[in-house]
Amino acid sequence: MAMRNIREEGDSILLKHCRPVTDFNRRLHVLLDDMRDTLLDADGVGLAAPQVGVLRRAVLVMDTNREDLSPEEQIIELVNPEIIETEGEQEGKEGCLSVPGVYGIVKRPERVRVRAQDRFGKWFEAEGTGLTARCFCHELDHLDGHLFTERAERFLTQEELEEMNREQ
Ligand code: NI
């Protein structure tokens, strides 16, 4: 296992469309393990393969609603994920490990259901509300070359960010 470099906005790899994963081999497992290490180290809530320079449809999402689990256990690995159902709407703060220090207000569905393959190729479904639903949408956007900065209604000012940090 190893840490990988997180690509930042301005790197054209973040704007590219990712290809489906077809081989559920050791190479994929090493990628997912490295992504896990990188995500936990960066203290994020999600990470997509293109953010570590790999143009394949694989993401990690932390199910932060599961407070009974450790951060490591909260990680859901999603290979070739697709959104199959959404419900409601939420508006809230969003950021990205590839756009450090920038936060915007983004509208997302309140509840999202996804279908994906696990690291062995087995299909499964997962569902999230609130931050987890937001995260599913955000990470899947990365696979099609979209950053949250395109979707933000507005960006938070330094003052607002300081205010939020004080409240935490
Ligand atoms: Ni992101």
pLDDT digits (tens, 9 = 90+) for 68-105: 999 999 999 999 999 999 999 999 999 999 999 999 99
Going through the chain in order, the beta strands assigned E by DSSP cover 46-48, 58-62, 75-87, 90-94, 104-108, 111-117, 123-129, 154-155
Using pLDDT thresholds of 50, 70 and 90, give the confidence band for residue 166. confident
Residue 59 maps to a domain:
yes
Residue 1 maps to a domain:
no
Q: Are 111 and 133 in contact (CB under 8 A)?
A: yes
Q: How many A from CA of 80 to the centre of ligand 1? A: 17
Distances (CA, A) of 17 to 13, 65, 144: 9, 30, 4
Residue 5 maps to a domain:
no
User: Is a pLDDT exceeding 90 seen at residue 143?
Assistant: yes
Q: Which domain holds residue 67?
A: 12-167
Supply the pTM of this predicted model: 0.95
Which active-site residues does the annotation give?
139
User: Is a pLDDT exceeding 80 seen at residue 161?
Assistant: yes
Residue 74 maps to a domain:
yes
Phi-psi region of 120 (alpha: psi -120 to 50; beta: other; left: phi over 0): alpha
Domains in the chain, number:
1
Q: How many A from CA of 45 to the centre of ligand 1? A: 9
User: Is a pLDDT exceeding 80 seen at residue 1?
Assistant: no
Q: Which amino acid is at 1?
A: M
Q: How many A from CA of 33 to the centre of ligand 1? A: 18
Torsion angle defined by CA atoms of residues 131, 137, 140 and 145, in that order, rounded to the nearest 10 degrees:
-110
Residue 148 maps to a domain:
yes
CATH number of the domain residue 41 falls in: 3.90.45.10
